[in-house]
Amino acid sequence: MKVLVIGGGGREHALAWKLKQSEGVEQVFVAPGNAGTARDAQLTNLAITDKVALREWVQANGIGLTVVGPEAPLAAGVVDEFRVHGLPIFGPTQKAAQLESSKAFSKAFMQRHGIPTAEYQTFTDAVQAHAYVDAKGAPIVIKADGLAAGKGVVVAMSLAEAHEAIDFMLLDNKLGVAHNEGGARVVIEEFLEGEEASFIVLCDGVNALALATSQDHKRLLDADQGPNTGGMGAYSPAPVVTPAVHQRAMDEVILPTLRGMAADCIPYTGFLYAGLMITPDGRIKTLEFNCRMGDPETQPIMMRLRSNFAQVLLAATRAELDRVTLDWDPRVALGVVLAAAGYPMNPRKGDAITGLPADEADRMVFHAGTADANGQVVVSGGRVLCVTALADSVADAQKKAYGVVDGIRFDGMQCRRDIGYRAL
């Protein structure tokens, strides 16, 4: 079977890397891919991003399964385009992807179906948004209502920060984010305290199958300081997701979401990522939904997965996830993101990358924001690489990953030195 992975980031590199290991898979294509997928002799980059052109290419080349990595093609309706033509594709439809592409849709859905989440209000008018923040006080959370590549959330610890975020998102709209009906809109939420975890499942419209637990680090700097990013590192498993929390996540968030989407006549298929806030007493609230696997959580999760991933995803396209079990490496996987100079707001491109090691079974460098410039791997995006390692403990996985990190160089390279500290 031939497989296509749509996307070009670290998540897609990790998905393609795992899919190529599946028995029965003869070739994996990545559209458009990056310098890391280009360096792998078992992966083939494909310079196509348009959904119709992709569908035509899949038809012409006998692709047996397509897997969608990032959110943008989902929001653009690539799954709908493939399904109209009877092509197996794993991901949610354009309407279902509103769980991520519209924060307002997602919050209203959760409220309507009794899924635990933070109190909120939605605004398009900056004056009203400012008044609401003044009434509620800080800390408070401001979210751009639309796709913002992981940078559309400001956790404002002061009123000044909150007002600045409102102006940035509504008046300036420098992120260029528009909600589904057009224009700029923000969701303003109460601030929740606790520990965050990423709870990711596979969905086939009826059934949900949980992946290994994981936890990422959103802030740019050590000790969770600095601005929010798309994620500076992650590890799996996440001790904060105890068996009791796992059961609550399934019973209170995941299964009600599947039932609610079906009741709203928008059956949900694909990866579903619930960002959870876990309180000290074990209660959970849903911070957000993503309609894809997380990045960088995908990298450690794929390092631990032992099952035939292609067959698992094919079963999901046939609504047969209730017949599937997953086999996991019991070891810890930990990934450290190396980011470009100026990330997250103004990442610099073009810096040459040196010191990239050969791939090994227990240590991988997954590429994200990389490109090939005349044979030299260079920076092409904000999050550049994710160095991921498997070991018997968090401390050993840290040591192994940072040992690789220390050999890689590019000008202005940023990385945290404490990934996994919460699990130590």
Model confidence band, residue 175 (pLDDT cutoffs 50, 70, 90): low
Say if CB 200 and CB 211 are below 8 A apart. yes
Q: Is the pLDDT of residue 13 over 60?
A: yes
pLDDT at 101: 86
Whole-angstrom distance, CA of residue 46 vs CA of residue 64: 16
Q: Is the pLDDT of residue 176 over 60?
A: no
Determine which of 173-177, 203-207, 302-306, 403-407 has the lowest per-residue pLDDT on average. Answer: 173-177
* Percent of the chain with pLDDT strictly greater than 70: 96
Query: For 89-124, what is each residue's pLDDT tens digit?
Result: 999 999 999 999 888 899 999 999 999 999 999 998
Nearest to 35 by CA among 60, 14, 9: 9
The token pair that represents 167 in the structure block: 């102006």
* Percent of the chain with pLDDT strictly greater than 90: 87
- Spell out a b/e string for 52-73, using b for 16 or more CB atoms within 10 Å of the CB, else e: eebbebbeeeebbbbbbbbbbb
**pLDDT higher at 104 or 46:** 46
pLDDT at 315: 97
Model confidence band, residue 166 (pLDDT cutoffs 50, 70, 90): very high
Query: For 347-380, what is each residue's pLDDT tens digit?
Result: 999 999 999 999 999 999 999 999 999 999 999 9
Measured between alpha carbons, how far is residue 275 from residues 66, 79, 382 in Å? 25, 23, 22
Say if CB 244 and CB 282 are below 8 A apart. yes
Q: How far is CA 259 from the centre of its chain?
A: 23
Residues 19-25, mean pLDDT to the nearest whole number: 97
Sequence letter at residue 376: Q
Q: Is the pLDDT of residue 181 over 80?
A: no
Whole-angstrom distance, CA of residue 382 vs CA of residue 150: 11
The whole model's pTM is what?
Answer: 0.92
Which DSSP symbol is given to 400?
H
Whole-angstrom distance, CA of residue 149 vs CA of residue 345: 11
Measured between alpha carbons, how far is residue 269 from residues 59, 286, 319, 320, 390 in Å? 22, 19, 9, 12, 30
Nearest to 424 by CA among 389, 388, 399: 399
Q: How far is CA 349 from the centre of its chain?
A: 22
Largest CA distance in the chain: 60
What residue has token string 């007002």?
163
The token pair that represents 7 in the structure block: 């996307």
Say if CB 14 and CB 37 are below 8 A apart. no
Query: For 190-199, what is each residue's pLDDT tens digit?
Result: 999 999 899 9
The token pair that represents 130 in the structure block: 């400012």
